[in-house]
Amino acid sequence: MSDAATDGPEEDNRLTRWVNTAITARPWTVVFVFLVITAGFLGAIALSDGEEEAGADQFTEGSDAQEAFDEIQEEFRDEGRDTGGTTAQLFVEDDRNVLSKQSLLRMLTFQDRIETEDRLRVESSTSPASLVAEQIDPEATTAEEQYRTIERTPQRQLEQAIADADETAGLPVSTDFKPESGSASVAQVAITYDTPPNAETSDTADLQFQTQEIANDIDGYETGENVVVFGDAIIEEETLQLLGDTAIVVFPAAVVLIIFFLAVAYRDPIDLMLGLVSLVLTFIWTFGFMTLADIPFSDQLITVFALLLAVGIDFGIHIINRYREERELGKQITESMRITTQQLLIALLIVTLTTVFSLMANLISDVTRDFGIVGTAGIIFTFLIFGIFLPAGKVGFDTLREGTRFPEFGTSPLGNEDSALGRVLTVGVSISKVAPVIFLVAVLALGVGATAYGTGVDTEFDEEAFFPDEDRIEQYESLPGPLQPGEYTFIQVLTYLEEDFEQGFEGSVTIYIDDSELRSDRGLTEIDRALDDPDEAFEADGRQADAESILGVIESHEAADPEFARTVERYDSSGDGIPDRDVDVVYDELFDSPAGDRAQDRLTTDRTGAIVDVQVDVDAEQDEAVAAARALAEDMRLDATATGQLVIFESIIDETTEASVNSLLVAFVLTMVFLVLSYWWLEGRAVYGVLNLVPVLLAVALLAGSMRLFDIPLSPINAPILSVSIGLGVDYTVHFMHRFVDEFEGGKSVQDALGTTVRGTGGALTGSMLTTVSGLGILYVALIPLIMEFGLLLALGVFYAWLSSVLVLPSAIVVWDRISSSEIVPASLARA
C-alpha cells in the first residue's frame, strides 16, 4: 500500500487528528467518559415511568381526523349525560339457543351482579334478556325485576315477546336468529361504566377484567369458552401484552443469533465483548434520550432499534477488520488504529450524516415524526460510540494483553485473498472485467421493472393489523412455560363479529351532522332520504341502510309508547312515519321520555348536531366503506361530515402513503447533494458521490418490489422503510467506495483497487450483512404482524444493500473509468 493510501488526504488528518490523539494516547480516559455518560442516561431511564404506546392509538392520536372525532364525542358528552365514559361487551354463546329461558335468566343474573357491585361502577347494561323483559313488562326496570318477569312468563308468550322485542328494539344477537322460534347462537350484552373522561386505561381495563371474573363465577358461564368480555381498554392492554410477549421470545433469539455471527466475524472474545458492549451502550443512550425527550416507547420505535443494530454491527466490524489489516502488515497497535480511524471515521461520518438525512426526512409527517427524531439521535450516538469508544477500548485491551500470555484468537481480517469468502466476493469484480456495460444495462432494467411493480403495493391500517392470527398464537403456546404468551380475547371476539354478526372489528362509519336545519321540517326527512338505496359497502335493511340515528330512537319509542306514537302521527303530514313539521315538539317529548338518554346519544340538546352510525358490510374493504361514507355525507343536503375510526384509519393511510413518498424523495435529494459535495471536498471528484447512488437506487427498487411480491402492505410501522433503505444502502456503498478511493488515489489501477477493496472492505460488509440479517430476520417470528413484516423488510433492505454494493458497484466504477478515459468526455468534466 502506498504512503498516500496509508496516510490519506490532508483534510482527513485535520478532521481526525484530535480523535486519534484521544483514542491512541488516552484510551482508558475515553472509555471512562463514555461510561459516565452512560450512567447518566441509565439514571434518567430509572427515574422515568417507562411509558409505552401500542396499537392504532399511537398513530391516530393528534391527527386531524382523530381530533375532529374527539371533539364530536366531547360535544355529545357535554350536551348529554356526564357519566358513562366507558363501554364493554359481553359475548355469550350457546349452540343450542342463547335465547332460551334459562340463558335469558343467566344473562339477567349477570346484569344484576355487575349493576349492584359498587366497585365496578356499572351505570347500565342492556342485553336481549332485558329487552325481552321490557317488551313483556315496561315497568320492569331493574335486572332483578326483569329476572322475575322472564321467570314467570310462559314459553309461548316468551317466544312471541322475543320476536316483538326484535321488531321494536332490534335484539343484539347473531345473524342465525330465527324470530319464529326465538333462537340464536350468540348474544351481546352491552355494559356502560360510570368513569371520568380522564380515567387511565389500566383502571378501565381493571373494571372490565373484574366484570369478566363475575361472569366466570356464574353457573354455566366459562370465560374463554362460552363468554368473553371485550372493550377498548382491554384492546389496549392486550396490544401492550403482545409487545411484551414478542419481546420475551424475539429479543433472546436475536441476541443468540447476533452473538453467534459476531463471534464468527470477530473470532476473538475481547473484540466480541467490545462489539456487544458498544451495542448495549447505543441502546441505553437512545432509551435515555427518549426518556429526556418524553417520547414513549411504541411498536414503531422497535424498528429504530433494529436499524441501530444494523448500523452498529456494520460500524464495529469495519473498525475491527480494518485495524486487523494494518496489524497483519506488522504495524504497532497505536499506528494501526491511527490509520484505521483516519480512513474510516470519514466514511462513518458520511454514512451517519446520510442516514440522518434519510431519518430526518420522516419529520415532515406526524405519523413518522417520533421515528425520525429517535432514529436521528440514535444514529449519532452509534457514530460516537463505535467511532470513538470502541477503537479506544480496542487499543486499551490490546495494549494490556500485549506481552502477556493472554492468548490471541482469530486476528486475521475477513475476506483475505486466500480465504473462500475472499474468492466469492470477487464475482462482482470479475463481471466488471468481462461485461460491465451489459451488466449495468441489465441491472437498470431490473431496477425499473422492480420500481414499476412496487408501485402497486397495497396500503393497510386498522386495529386488526396489530393482531396475530390464531396459528401464530398456537405456535407461541407450544413454547416452554416462561416463553408462552398470555391469554388473548381478540381472536375469539373477531370470530364472533365476523362469523356470527357479519361485521368487521370496526363495524360502522359515523356521519356527523352539524346543521340548524335539523330543527326544520325537512331535517329528519333528509336523514331518511340519505339512507335510502345504500351503497354496497353498507349493510341494508330492505332499501334502507342499516343505521343507528335519531330516527331509530323515534321509531323504537313510538312502538313502545302509544302516546308518543300519536304525537309522531300528528306531526307527520306525509304519512311516512317521519315527523316533518314542528319537529321541536316531537324532540321535546322524546327528550322528556324514558328514551331521552338514547336520544341524547344521537342528537344534541340544542337540536343542531346529530350522529348517524351506518353499519359496514363485513366483506367491504376499508377504503370502499370510507369512500361510501364520504359520498353519503356529500349527498346529504345538510352540513354533514364522514368520521369514525374507519375514516380516521383511512386518513392515516393517506398520510402514510404521502409521507413515505415525500420522505423518500427528500432523503434521496439530501443524500445525493451531501455525497456529491462530500467527495468533491474530500477527494476533488464529485462523481464518486454519484457512483455511490447507483447500487442504492437498485436496493430501494428491489425493496419496493419485494413489498408487493411478499404481499406486505404499506403501513405506519413500515412507512419509513423506503427512506431508511437509502441510509442502509449508503452505509454499504460508502464503505466500499471510500476504500476504493483510498486505494485508487494511492496509485493502484482500477482493477487492483477493486480487488483490494472487495477482499478487505467486502469481507467486513459480508460479516456485517450476515449478522444484521440474522438478527433482524428473527423479527419475522414476532407476534405482531406489522413488526414481523418490518423485520423482513429491514433484513431484505440490508441484504439488497450488500448485494448491490459488492456486485453492482464494481461495474459502475469500471464503466465510469472507461468513459472518463475516453475522448467522449473532456478531462476536466471527468475529474469533476
pLDDT in tens, 378-390: 999 999 999 999 9
Q: Could you give the CA distance from residue 381 to residue 724 in angstroms, rounded to a whole number?
A: 17
**What is the percent of the chain with per-residue pLDDT over 70, rounded to a whole number?**
88
Residue 51 has a pLDDT of: 60
**pLDDT bucket at 538, cuts 50 / 70 / 90:** confident
Specify the pairing of strand 547-548 against strand 227-231.
unpaired
Residue 810 has a pLDDT of: 92
Residue 14 has a pLDDT of: 57
pLDDT tens string 218-252: 988 888 788 888 887 787 787 778 877 877 877 77
Closest to 663 in 3D by CA, of 710, 627, 714: 714
Helices (H), 329-368: 333-360
**pLDDT bucket at 138, cuts 50 / 70 / 90:** confident
> Can you name the residues that pair with 187 across neighbouring β-strands?
92, 173
For residue 425, is pLDDT > 80? no
Q: Could you give the CA distance from residue 783 to residue 780 in angstroms, rounded to a whole number?
A: 9
Helices (H), 405-466: 420-425, 427-434, 436-454
The lowest-confidence range among 69-83, 465-479, 741-755 is 69-83
CB 759 within 8 A of CB 785: no
For residue 362, is pLDDT > 60? yes
Residue 82 has a pLDDT of: 43
Highest mean pLDDT range out of 314-318, 362-366, 512-516?
Answer: 512-516
Residue 410 has a pLDDT of: 54
Q: Could you give the CA distance from residue 478 to residue 491 in angstroms, rounded to a whole number?
A: 17
Q: What is the chain's length? A: 832
CB 776 within 8 A of CB 797: no
**pLDDT bucket at 80, cuts 50 / 70 / 90:** very low
**pLDDT bucket at 297, cuts 50 / 70 / 90:** confident
The lowest-confidence range among 234-243, 629-638, 798-807 is 234-243
Closest to 613 in 3D by CA, of 736, 527, 699, 734: 527
For residue 84, is pLDDT > 50? no
Residue 439 has a pLDDT of: 93
For residue 316, is pLDDT > 80? yes
Write down the pTM of the prediction: 0.72
How many CA atoms does the CB half-sphere of 503 hold within 13 Å? 20
Residue 71 has a pLDDT of: 66
Judged on CB neighbours under 10 Å (0-12, 13-18, 19+), 507 is buried
User: Cα 255 vs. chain centroid, distance in angstroms?
Assistant: 22
For residue 313, is pLDDT > 80? yes
In single-letter form, the type of residue at position 450 comes to A
487 or 272, higher pLDDT: 272
- Give the pLDDT mean for 71-75: 67
Region at 460 (left for phi over 0; alpha for psi -120 to 50; beta for the rest):
beta
For residue 279, is pLDDT > 70? yes
pLDDT tens string 695-733: 989 998 999 999 999 988 887 777 777 777 887 778 788
For the chain, the average pLDDT equals: 82
335 or 728, higher pLDDT: 335
Residue 169 has a pLDDT of: 76
CB 208 within 8 A of CB 88: yes
Residue 824 has a pLDDT of: 44
Give CA separation, 412 vs 267, 334, 417, 418, 618, in Å: 9, 18, 11, 11, 62
Ramachandran angles phi, psi of 636, nearest 5°: -70, 135
Residue 398 has a pLDDT of: 87
Residue 129 has a pLDDT of: 94
Terminal Cα-to-Cα distance of the chain (whole angstroms): 25
Q: Could you give the CA distance from residue 217 to residue 207 in angstroms, rounded to a whole number?
A: 16
Helix axes 64-79, 645-683, angle to 10 degrees: 150
**pLDDT bucket at 9, cuts 50 / 70 / 90:** very low
For residue 377, is pLDDT > 90? yes
With vertex at residue 312, the alpha carbon angle to CA 354 and CA 673, rounded to the nearest 5 degrees, is 5
With vertex at residue 30, the alpha carbon angle to CA 25 and CA 33, rounded to the nearest 5 degrees, is 150
CB 618 within 8 A of CB 495: no
- Give the pLDDT mean for 195-208: 78
Q: What is the DSSP string of 60-100?
A: HTT-HHHHHHHHHHHHHHHHS-S---EEEEEEEE-SS-TTS
Residue 515 has a pLDDT of: 87
For residue 789, is pLDDT > 80? yes
- Give the pLDDT mean for 629-657: 84
The lowest-confidence range among 136-145, 564-573, 821-830 is 821-830
**pLDDT bucket at 506, cuts 50 / 70 / 90:** low
Q: Could you give the CA distance from residue 449 to residue 708 in angstroms, rounded to a whole number?
A: 13
407 C-beta neighbours (distance < 10 Å), count: 8
pLDDT tens string 446-474: 999 999 998 888 877 766 677 787 777 77
Closest to 187 in 3D by CA, of 501, 417, 522, 421: 501
**What is the percent of the chain with per-residue pLDDT over 90, rounded to a whole number?**
20
- Give the pLDDT mean for 752-763: 83
Residue 349 has a pLDDT of: 85
Kindly report the three-state secondary structure assignment for every residue of 778-824: HHHHCCCHHHHHHHHHHHHHHHHHHHHHHHCHHHHHHHHHHHHHCCC
Grid cell at residue 677: 459535495
For residue 59, is pLDDT > 50? yes
639 or 621, higher pLDDT: 639
716 or 636, higher pLDDT: 636
Grid cell at residue 134: 321490557
For residue 3, is pLDDT > 50? no
The lowest-confidence range among 383-392, 480-489, 598-607 is 480-489
With vertex at residue 756, the alpha carbon angle to CA 753 and CA 757, rounded to the nearest 5 degrees, is 80
Give CA separation, 651 vs 72, 316, 362, 386, in Å: 17, 41, 17, 40
Residue 522 has a pLDDT of: 85
- Give the pLDDT mean for 46-69: 62
**pLDDT bucket at 828, cuts 50 / 70 / 90:** very low
The lowest-confidence range among 177-181, 509-513, 782-786 is 782-786
Spell out the residues 6+ positions from residue 69 whose beta carbon is closer than 8 angstroms to its own: 510, 643, 644, 645, 647, 648
